[in-house]
Amino acid sequence: MSIKVENVSKLYNTQKAVQNVSFEIEKGEVVGLLGPNGSGKSTLMKIITGFITSFQGDVLIEGVSVKKNLLAIQKNIGYLPESNPLYQEMYVLEYLTFVAEVHKIPKKEIKNVLDAVGLTQEAHKQIYKLSKGYKQRVGLAAALIHNPKILILDEPTTGLDPNQLIEIRDLIRQLGENKIIILSTHIMQEVEAVCDRVLILKNGEIVADENLKKLKEQQMQIIEVEFDFQIEKRFFNQLPDLQSLTSLGGAVWELTFDTKEDMRSKVFDFATENGLKIIQLNTKNKNLESLFTELTN
């Protein structure tokens, strides 16, 4: 199971949509493509799935170039486009039967897919009568019907209510246990909730490629604080979980804590206990949120 994206660039006339993007995915993992609107997520996904064929660079799926053997590629890939185009007037089962025929998949597989996405109860309903969350499941079922090793989901949770969101995220995580999943989102919490790895896109370029588990482990909390008076370094020993201490000149200090607990109130207590006033205090978290804001602003 592998995807290799090699120096991919895409121009729409003069608009640079994707610029020199390279990455590899070699095992079943959920990879988030995180970036603001217009950062090139959908374009990159259309290139990987073979929907856009004119671009620079190459994409190899299981070592095969999308430029050379599109049909073989599409056997390995399931794609849920951003707009989730469905035949609204069709019945769920009817629609999936149609999709199965397109892929030359035996009808008996449909039952398994309905089951996998939790649609069995809705099989005999017309698509337009379903909630947005259930429509997304129909789109997912259609993307899954040929049991692809790779799933590409373009903003799969946009427009869902909180309950539907949790259900679809659970489903994605579950599917990601034995498939490569690339999902796009502009919501950072989404990445934290479902992904193993994140690629951050800005203006068509990848500006970060991070392992979420590692990122969570190194969740340092940095507090920059200015007191009204100078204070000796040794006093800071009173603060718990303090990992490092840097003097930024004057009575300004940068304190790095190795804890997820919000340390601001501890710093306030510390000031009071030592007869100091706090002139200003800023927190800088070294987590996905700060990384994303820093890299995309």
Which positions touch Mg ion (CB under 5 A)? 41-42
Give a three-class secondary structure readout of the chain: CCEEEEEEEEEECCEEEEEEEEEEECCCCEEEEECCCCCCHHHHHHHHCCCCCCCEEEEEECCEECCCCHHHHHHHEEEECCCCCCCCCCEHHHHHHHHHHHCCCCCHHHHHHHHHCCCHHHCCCEHHHCCHHHHHHHHHHHHHCCCCCEEEEECCCCCCCHHHHHHHHHHHHHHCCCCEEEEEECCHHHHHHHCCEEEEEECCEEEEEEEHHHHHHCCCEEEEEEECCCCCHHHHHHCCCEEEEEECCCCEEEEEECCCCCCHHHHHHHHHHCCCCEEEEEEEECCHHHHHHHHHC
**Binding at 12: pick from ligand ADP, Mg ion, none (beta carbon under 5-8 Å per type):** ligand ADP
Least spacing, CB of residue 157 vs ligand ADP, in Å: 14
**Binding at 169: pick from Mg ion, ligand ADP, none (beta carbon under 5-8 Å per type):** none
Q: 37 vs 54, which CB is nearer to ligand ADP?
A: 37
Q: 2 vs 158, which CB is nearer to Mg ion?
A: 158
Q: 41 vs 169, which CB is nearer to Mg ion?
A: 41
Q: 12 vs 98, which CB is nearer to ligand ADP?
A: 12
Least spacing, CB of residue 15 vs Mg ion, in Å: 14
Least spacing, CB of residue 45 vs ligand ADP, in Å: 8
Contact 125, 156 (CB under 8 A): no
Least spacing, CB of residue 176 vs ligand ADP, in Å: 21
Count of residues that interact with ligand ADP, criterion CB under 6 A: 11
Q: 158 vs 274, which CB is nearer to ligand ADP?
A: 158
**Binding at 19: pick from Mg ion, ligand ADP, none (beta carbon under 5-8 Å per type):** none
**Binding at 17: pick from ligand ADP, Mg ion, none (beta carbon under 5-8 Å per type):** ligand ADP
Least spacing, CB of residue 114 vs Mg ion, in Å: 28
Of 8-67, which residues contact ligand ADP (CB under 6 A)? 12, 15, 17, 35, 37-43
Least spacing, CB of residue 182 vs Mg ion, in Å: 13
Q: 48 vs 222, which CB is nearer to ligand ADP?
A: 48
Name the residue among 119, 133, 196 with its Cα closest to residue 167. 133
Q: State the residues that interact with ligand ADP by CB under 6 A.
A: 12, 15, 17, 35, 37-43
